[in-house]
Structure 1
Amino acid sequence: MAGHVNSLHDQVAQQLRDQIFAGELSPGAFVDETRLCEQLAISRTPLREALKVLAAEGLIRHEPRRGSFVNEVTEQDLDEIFPVIALLEGRCAFEAALQATDADIAALEGLHQQLEGSAAQGRIPDYYAANYAIHEAIIAMAGNKWLAQVISDLRKILKLARLQQLNAPGRLAQSLAEHMAIFAALKARDAEGADAAMRTHLTRQREALRQLARQSKSRIAAVSTEHDKSGVPT
């Protein structure tokens, strides 16, 4: 019976994760337990167990007497997370360079060809997909389950922020160049070079996101100024 309850609350946690990442439960949204119980045809117990799991992952926060809310990722959160994930993924690249077989490198080469093709044609969704597959392949090549687990946890928080760093001007070409540098180091079995190239890649992602945030603030300020001048929304 315990196994059934466990598997049920794991399933519920995954359904809620999917809703959060799809934007159906948006950042800051109140988690309506009654509605979710009806929607998922479950009792309160597995739902509350699932919410505890998501709270431990940082996707949900519980406020006494108010209930549960979807977490919001702030610029400060991103400033704190990116240096950590850069170190962790850099270490993965280091270990991957030492562990990689010729077959691993050949598979990675195919993924980089997909990445190049997507960049050349400006297919950003395909680029994101190939980019994700490359990061996952490097983590798998490293073969360190502890690194993989911590990176996975941090990635969930970053996914919550719905980041679109490739929308920053020039970022697509820059990102591709960074990936090719990481791949060249892995192919040469240069562990320290792979580590440094991966850390540079993640650090520049954060810089691109800062650039987008500044542009967004400038646009909002311009609209606000225009509104003040005209007295009507623009």
Structure 2
Amino acid sequence: MRLVLNSLHDEVAAKLRERIFAGDFAPGSFIDEPALCTEMSISRTPLREALKVLVVEGLLRHEPRRGCFVNEITERDLDEIFPVIALLEGRCAFEAASHASDADLVALEQLHDRLNRAARGKRINEYYDVNFTIHEAIITLANNRWLAQTITDLRKIVKLARLQQLHAPGRLEQSLSEHMAVFAALKARDAEGAEAAMRTHITRQRVALRELARNTKSRLMA
């Protein structure tokens, strides 16, 4: 019975996580447990276990005697999270430069060719997809499960903000250049260079997001 319960609450957590990321639950919105139980045809127990998982992940916050609410990500949160991600992904790039085989580098080169084509064609959604695959490949090559898990957890929180940094003016071209710098260091097996390039790449994502938020605010006030 315990295995069945774990499987069910993991499934419920996954479904709720997807709906949060899709925007079905707005930031700050209340999680109506009875309504969700009815909608998902489940009892309170697996739902509450699922909500506990999402609270630990930082996607929800629990308020005593009130219940769970979708977390709201502030500019301060982003300012604090991005430097941490930069450090962690920088370390992944360092380790990847040390561990990557010739075959791994060939696979990464093919991914960067796809990234280049997506950038030239201004296909931002495709660029995002390939970009994610490249970051995941580098994390995998680092072969450090603690780094991988921590990055995954932090990404979930950042994803709550539903940000599109590549829409900032000039960011697409800048991002491509940064990726190529990371790959050049990986190909040269320059671990310190790969780490520095990746940290620069992540840090500039935050700068682009800040500029995008500022521009959006200016347009709304105009």
User: TM-score normalized by structure 2?
Assistant: 0.99
After superposition, the CA RMSD in angstroms is 0.6
Residue in structure 1 matched with residue 57 of structure 2 by the alignment: 57
Residue in structure 2 matched with residue 131 of structure 1 by the alignment: 131
Residue in structure 1 matched with residue 146 of structure 2 by the alignment: 146
Equivalenced residue count is: 222
Q: Deviations over 1:29-81 (max 9, x none)?
A: 11111111011110000000000000000000111222111101100000000
Counterpart CA distance in 1 for 2:26 and 2:107 is 36
Q: Which moved more, 1:157-166 or 1:123-132?
A: 157-166
Counterpart CA distance in 2 for 1:210 and 1:159 is 15
Counterpart CA distance in 2 for 1:32 and 1:111 is 43
Pairwise mapping of residues 3-152 of structure 1 onto structure 2 (< 5 A)? 3-152=3-152
When Rg is computed on C-alpha atoms for both structures, the one with the higher figure is 1
The residue type paired with residue 79 of structure 1 is D
The residue type paired with residue 158 of structure 2 is L
Pairwise mapping of residues 212-231 of structure 1 onto structure 2 (< 5 A)? 212-222=212-222
Q: Which moved more, 1:197-206 or 1:31-40?
A: 31-40
Counterpart CA distance in 2 for 1:108 and 1:25 is 36
Counterpart CA distance in 2 for 1:84 and 1:181 is 21
Counterpart CA distance in 2 for 1:161 and 1:217 is 15
Runs of 4+ off more than 6 Å:
none
Counterpart CA distance in 2 for 1:155 and 1:7 is 24
The residue type paired with residue 158 of structure 1 is V
User: TM-score normalized by structure 1?
Assistant: 0.94
Unaligned regions of 5+ residues in structure 2, if any? none
Structure 1 residue 91: Cα displacement: 0.1
Counterpart CA distance in 2 for 1:107 and 1:35 is 47
The residue type paired with residue 60 of structure 2 is I
Q: Percent identity?
A: 71
SS of the aligned residue for 1:109 comes to helix
Q: Which moved more, 1:93-102 or 1:57-66?
A: 57-66
SS of the aligned residue for 1:94 comes to helix
Q: Deviations over 1:63-104 (max 9, x none)?
A: 122211110110000000000000000000000000000111
Q: Deviations over 1:144-190 (max 9, x none)?
A: 01100000000101111111000100000000000000000000000
Counterpart CA distance in 1 for 2:103 and 2:25 is 41
Counterpart CA distance in 1 for 2:37 and 2:110 is 44
Pairwise mapping of residues 170-181 of structure 1 onto structure 2 (< 5 A)? 170-181=170-181
Residue in structure 2 matched with residue 182 of structure 1 by the alignment: 182
SS of the aligned residue for 1:218 comes to helix
The residue type paired with residue 94 of structure 2 is F
Counterpart CA distance in 2 for 1:161 and 1:214 is 15
Residue in structure 2 matched with residue 160 of structure 1 by the alignment: 160
Residue in structure 2 matched with residue 225 of structure 1 by the alignment: none
Structure 1 residue 216: Cα displacement: 1.4
Unaligned regions of 5+ residues in structure 1, if any? 223-234
SS of the aligned residue for 2:26 comes to coil
